[in-house]
Amino acid sequence: GEDIGVDKTLFKSLSERSKHEDFIRRAADLLVERVVFGRSQRTSKVVEWAAPEDIKKAIDLKPREGPVSHDVLLGLMADVARYSVNTAHPYFVNQLFSSVDPYGLVGQWLTDALNPSVYTFEVAPVFTLMEEEVLREMRSIVGWKDGKGDGIFCPGGSIANGYAISCARFYYYPEIKSKGVYSVPKLVLFTSELAHYSTKKMAAFMGIGSDNCILVKTDSAGKIDVADLELKINQSLDGGSTPFLVTATAGTTVYGAFDPIVEISALCKRYNLWLHVDAAWGGGALMSKKHRHLLSGIELADSVTWNPHKLLAAPQQCSTFLIRHENVLKEAHSSNAKYLFQKDKFYDTSYDTGDKHIQCGRRADVLKFWFMWKAKGTEGFEKHIDTLFDNAKYFLDHIRNREGFKLVVDQPECTNIMFWYVPKCLRGCENEPDYKERLHKVAPKIKELMIKEGSMMVTYQPQGHLVNFFRIVFQNSALDHKDMVYFANEFERLGTD
Ligand code: ABU
C-alpha cells in the first residue's frame, strides 16, 4: 500500500517514548517505595555496612562498552540505595544535614527534570526571579531593611565563606580584581579557633595564605574571646599587616556556639573591618521568634553565610551568601562574557544575574527551598526549629543526670550535643594515668558497633586537649522525646563493657 513513512516515524517515537516513560515510572516507584519511605522507618537500618571490597563485589561499578536492560538498571538503582547511608532515617544524626522533606525532595526532582542553569533570564526565567525573591526574604529575616542588599545561592558554606573574603577584599581594595595580590598590602583576617576550617582554606586558595588567617581563642562554651580578638588585631597592626575581615560564627560546627556578634561588630567598626557571619549551621534559628536571639546583632554584619540544607533541612545542597552592600558581588566577580551576557538582548538584562558568581553553569538550588517554604510557610519553619531545640534540650536534660554520660559543654547553645559515654569499666577511674587514653578509644569502638548494626549514626571527634567525644546533631523535626531516650539507651547498650 500507501507510503506511511511519516506514521512509521511517529510510531517509532511513540514506542521510544513509552519505553522511557515506563522506565521513568518504574524508577520513580522504586525511589518512593524503596528509597524515600521504605528505608526511613525506625525499624529499618540507618546503614547496611559493607566494606569497600564487598561493595565492589555487590555492584558492577565499571562502565561497560555495551548497554544494559532497564531491569538491570533498576536493579543497580536498588543496589546503590541499599549500600548508601540512609540519611533520611530518623537515627541518622551524624552530620549537620539529615532527613528527607517531601516538598524539598519533589522540588529537587522538579529541578532535575527541568535541568536549568541559572545564569541568564533567557534560560532560567523563573529561577532567576525566584532566587531574587527568596534571597530578599532571607535578607529581610537577617534584619536588613526591606531585604536590601544582594546574595547568591552557591555550592556549599565553604564557598560562601570564600565569597565573603573576596567581597571584603574587593570592597577595600578594588584594584585586587585586575592587579592581583601584588597590588595590596599584606592582608590578615580573623576567625575563632573553633570556626569552620573553610575560612583558613579559602584564605590559602585566594592567595592570602592560611597563616594570615589568624585564629582567635575561645571560651569554655566555644565562643570567640573578644579581648583576644582585639589583642590579635593590634598585634597584626604592630607587625605591619593589614587586618580587613573578621568572620564570626553563628553555630560552630562541633560545639554549636554562637559568637557575640554585637561586640565583634563594635570592634570591626573601630578598626574598619568587614564583618562576616558564618551562620551556615545556626542561621535557621533566625526563623524562630524564640531562638533568633542567639544571632543577636547579625543585622550589623556586612555579609552572612546561611545554609538552608542544615537546620532548615532542605535537601543537599542549598547554601546562600547574603551581602548588605548592593553592587560588590557583581563588581568583584563579573567578567561580561559576550557569548552569554550580551547587553543588547531584547529584555532587561539586569535579570541576567549569573555574572556575579564565580561559577558559570549553576544548579537551581533555590527551587527545593522555595517549594518547602511555600508548602509550610515561615510558620512551618518556625515550628520545625522550635521542635529541634525542644528535642535537643530534652536529650541534654536526660543525659545530664544519667549514669555514664558526661557533657563536654554544659549548656550547648544549638541543637548539637557533645558528650562522652563512659563505660562501667572506666567509671571511677578518672585519676588513673591511662584514663584519657582508654576513654579516647571508647567512641570509635561504639561507633563501629552502631555502624555494623545499623542502629544509629552519630559522629565523634577529639577537640584540642579533649579526647574523642560524641556529637549528636538534631535537625530532623520528625524525631520526638521517645527517640531521645532511644539514643541514650543505644549508647548504654553498645557501650556495655
Ligand atoms: N560544613 C560541614 C559540616 C560537616 C558536619 O556535618 O559536621
What's the pLDDT score for residue 41?
A: 85
Which three cell numbers, joined as nine digits, stand for 382?
A: 518556625
Neighbours of 340 (CB within 10 A): 15
**Structure confidence at residue 8 as a pLDDT band (50, 70, 90):** low
Q: What spacing in Å lies between the alpha carbon of 236 and ligand 1's midpoint?
A: 30
Q: What spacing in Å lies between the alpha carbon of 253 and ligand 1's midpoint?
A: 6
For domain 117-363, the question of CATH label 3.40.640.10 is answered with yes
Site of grid cell 563594635: 266
Q: Ligand 1 pocket: which of 95, 202, 305 to mutate (most atoms <8 Å of CB)?
A: 95
pTM of the entire predicted model: 0.95
DSSP letter string, 111-137: HHHH---TT-TTT-HHHHHHHHHHHHH
Q: What spacing in Å lies between the alpha carbon of 305 and ligand 1's midpoint?
A: 14
**CA of 253, closest atom in ligand 1:** 7
Q: Please state the separation of Cα 487 from the chain's center in Å.
A: 23
pLDDT in tens, 353-383: 999 999 999 999 999 999 999 999 999 999 9
3 has pLDDT over 90: no
Q: What spacing in Å lies between the alpha carbon of 265 and ligand 1's midpoint?
A: 26
Q: Quick check: helix, strand or coil at residue 399?
A: helix
Task: Check if the beta carbon of residue 297 is closer than 8 Å to that of residue 275.
Answer: no
CATH code: domain 39-47+85-107+375-497 is 3.90.1150.170
Residue 181 backbone dihedrals phi, psi, to 5 degrees: -65, -15
For the chain, domain boundaries: 39-47+85-107+375-497, 117-363
Average pLDDT over the chain reads 95
Which three cell numbers, joined as nine digits, stand for 492?
A: 548504654
Q: What spacing in Å lies between the alpha carbon of 127 and ligand 1's midpoint?
A: 27
DSSP letter string, 73-122: HHHHHHHHHHHS--TTSTTB-SSS-----HHHHHHHHHHHHH---TT-TT
Residue 317 backbone dihedrals phi, psi, to 5 degrees: -115, 140
Distance (Å, whole) CA 56 – CA 50: 10
What angle separates helix 157-172 from helix 198-205, to the nearest 10 degrees?
50
Site of grid cell 564583618: 275
Query: Facing residues of 16 across strands?
Result: none
**CA of 158, closest atom in ligand 1:** 1
301 has pLDDT over 90: yes
Q: What spacing in Å lies between the alpha carbon of 207 and ligand 1's midpoint?
A: 25
Nearest alpha carbon, ligand 1 atom 3 = 96
* Sequence-ordered strand ranges (E) for 290-339: 303-306, 319-323
Distance (Å, whole) CA 205 – CA 199: 10
pLDDT in tens, 439-494: 999 999 999 999 999 999 999 999 999 999 999 999 999 999 999 999 999 999 99
**CA of 94, closest atom in ligand 1:** 6
Site of grid cell 549569573: 354
- Which of 362, 350, 364 has its CA nearest to residue 126? 364
**CA of 254, closest atom in ligand 1:** 7
**CA of 97, closest atom in ligand 1:** 6
**CA of 459, closest atom in ligand 1:** 7
Q: What spacing in Å lies between the alpha carbon of 92 and ligand 1's midpoint?
A: 14
β-strands 150-154, 459-463 pairing: unpaired
Q: Report the complex ipTM.
A: 0.91
Handedness of CA 192, 197, 199, 204 (dihedral sign): positive
39 has pLDDT over 80: no
What's the pLDDT score for residue 1?
A: 41
Query: Facing residues of 471 across strands?
Result: 418, 459
Pocket lining for ligand 1, CB < 6 angstroms: 95-96, 157, 196, 253
